[in-house]
Amino acid sequence: MEKKQIILPSKKFANADDQELDLKLNLDNSDTLMRIGDRDIILDIDELFYKERNESINYKIYGKLKMVFRNLYSGSTDYSYLKSRLYLLGDGSNIQDNTVFDGFLPYDEFAFLRKDVYREVNLPVTGDTLGTFTPNIVKSGSTAHTTVTPISAPYQNWNLYLSYVYSGDSEYKIDYTLTGITGSTKISFTAKDGIPFRVTNYKTYYELTSPVEHGMSEGEHIVLSGGTLTGLSNSTGSTFYINSVGNEVFNSKKYVINIFKSQIKTGTTLSTIVLGKRCKDFTNIIASTSQYYIHKHKTLTNPGGYIMDSLGFESPVFEDEKKIIFENSNGDNDVIVERNRMESVLYDFKEPLKLSGLTNNLGFSPTNVFVTVIFRNGNGYFNYPPKVGYKFNFHDTWIDEHFDGITSNEGGLNSNSFTGNTNLAGYTGFTFLSGQTLSIGSILNGAFVEYNPKEMTERIVSESFHKITNPTTIFNYGQTSGSLYASATNLEGLVYQPHYRIKLRELSPYTETANTNDIFNLPENAKYDPYDKVWRWRDIYDHGYVDPDGFGTDFPFMNGNHYVKANINFYLRNERYYKNKSDGIMSFIDKNNKNNNSDC
């Protein structure tokens, strides 16, 4: 017979609040028993609020979206419509110069809210006598390329969706290039193989340096692959003790692992690049080795499921950058062009998200959803679809071969081709690709993730990034030669993060265990460990509870909805000029030679 025990509310999870459980009886009370048909209601307002708050599955998601971008690629185009709208390097006055009409793409090609819209305006007529009102309707804007109205402007360049992680893909194919030269310094692998490390061979030990945080600690083990290895006498043959982490460089313990050569059979050497997986328990390698995979997202909303509008009272750090062109390529004088605009917008998903009937990749109700920002390329000036990469695919001085060809294209995005609205000279002979909008249930690639069965938690190794590029036939800024190993099939471009995590519920940072046959009363995220013969799970904190370490949720709750505010800084980075893509560890400053301070 199984023993059952009633526990105090404070024992429900770590640091849980106490509750009043005393039943107070007054000998002179006038209470009566409830009769059939009577209803029992909660009269304690705090208890009723707590109950409704934690039973509600409705989440209203909104926030601020701030563009962080610097328009740095200048080039040329033969497409007349775009050519007349470039932010010129000069002022258009030196018509003898063959580069007089070279410049930067106008900011509206990157904006969340385009301003170059086609609209009707009424110009008032002046006079000194009363009479019948006669509207003087004038149309502003252009339809020569595409027609963008104030209604469609928020959806022309970018689309927002809510999504959740419904599955993981451990077979996702990835390339990692150390120097950009095909051969021993390039490795092709699948997500399940783990994290890439570059190997430095010292006299008594190997130093393994990862381009992303490895998440391992001294005293744990690492399972290596990616070369011919002869390791310890265990089931994998390539599991090695981590003797230390880090080197003389600040913060390097997050990126550097050291293993003694004495663990490796004499005569065996490691390849220039190896792959590593974290192992917590050497006596139980298979069950305690982390799993690595790619998040697979599924959209929950349609393209018109949100509202976007300008944000007032915002004080940007940078100033808008615009100027008056003396004469553009069409011969128009005194044209205002804009290169950069400090843009902040409000987004608000129209309907509350109902967190019901969904199962995440770990087999229980999602605790996170994502605001997914997709570049739609409505004007078609960019290649489509975007390519998907991860932090270790971006380098300061070369283009990774992962992006070569079409194998890294985002498979969940499709395009439509069009040729523009005008057949005038300089407008024909160009084909453009714009992205199709996504329906509910569309599938996209997400973050590169580590999951350890013992800890029952995911660690984000790297968020996913989308890379967008311009065809040289439409806008040529030297994207085939601007960086080392750039080519016609491996262009340099712009990089952004598409998925932004929104926390709805909080899992406790600790793991609970129990040895019980009462599986019906276990939490839905409980999993059985056959090696230790126990059930493991992580408690889900109630809404309104935040532990001393800051874990928890405390959203405003009103009218049956949790109001979740998520402000997003949206970084759109120039691949050529963004020089912070390496390991994240920097050498100490050499005071005698300040130029000798390169990334590690």
Q: Which two tokens stand for residue 306?
A: 């949100």
Look at residue 600 and tell me if it is in a domain: no
Query: How many other C-beta atoms can be found within 10 angstroms of the C-beta atom of residue 340?
Result: 19
**DSSP 8-state symbol, 145:** S
Phi, psi of 49 (to 5 degrees): -60, -45
Measured CA to CA, the distance from residue 422 to residue 418 in angstroms comes to: 11
Banded pLDDT at 476 (limits 50, 70, 90)? very high
- Ordered DSSP codes for 221-256: EEEEESS-----SSSSS-EEE--EE--SSTTGGGTE
154-175 mean pLDDT: 97
Predicted pLDDT of residue 483: 83
Q: Is the pLDDT higher at 41 or at 350?
A: 350
Look at residue 202 and tell me if it is in a domain: yes
Look at residue 8 and tell me if it is in a domain: no
Measured CA to CA, the distance from residue 299 to residue 159 in angstroms comes to: 12
Q: Name the residue range of residue 254's domain.
A: 178-291
Predicted pLDDT of residue 228: 62
pLDDT digits (tens, 9 = 90+) for 268-310: 778 889 999 999 988 888 889 999 999 999 999 999 999 999 9
Max avg pLDDT among 158-172, 330-344, 531-545, 585-599: 158-172
Query: Which segment of 122-126, 223-227, 469-473, 537-541 scores lowest on mean pLDDT?
Result: 122-126
Look at residue 242 and tell me if it is in a domain: yes
492-509 mean pLDDT: 96
316 in Cβ contact with 31 (< 8 Å): no
Whether 230 shows a pLDDT value over 80: the answer reads: no
Look at residue 240 and tell me if it is in a domain: yes
Whether 599 shows a pLDDT value over 80: the answer reads: no
Whether 594 shows a pLDDT value over 60: the answer reads: no
Per-position b or e across 521-540, b if 16+ CB within 10 A of its CB: ebeebbeebeeeeebbbbbb
> What's the whole-number average pLDDT of the chain?
87
Query: Which segment of 94-103, 179-188, 438-447, 490-499 scores lowest on mean pLDDT?
Result: 179-188
Look at residue 461 and tell me if it is in a domain: no
pLDDT digits (tens, 9 = 90+) for 402-418: 999 999 999 999 999 99
Predicted pLDDT of residue 596: 37
The count of domains in the chain is 1
Whether 232 shows a pLDDT value over 50: the answer reads: no
Look at residue 171 and tell me if it is in a domain: no
**Domain of 269: which CATH number?**
2.40.30
Residue type, 63: G
Banded pLDDT at 234 (limits 50, 70, 90)? very low
pLDDT digits (tens, 9 = 90+) for 52-77: 999 999 999 999 999 999 999 999 99
Look at residue 275 and tell me if it is in a domain: yes
Banded pLDDT at 35 (limits 50, 70, 90)? low
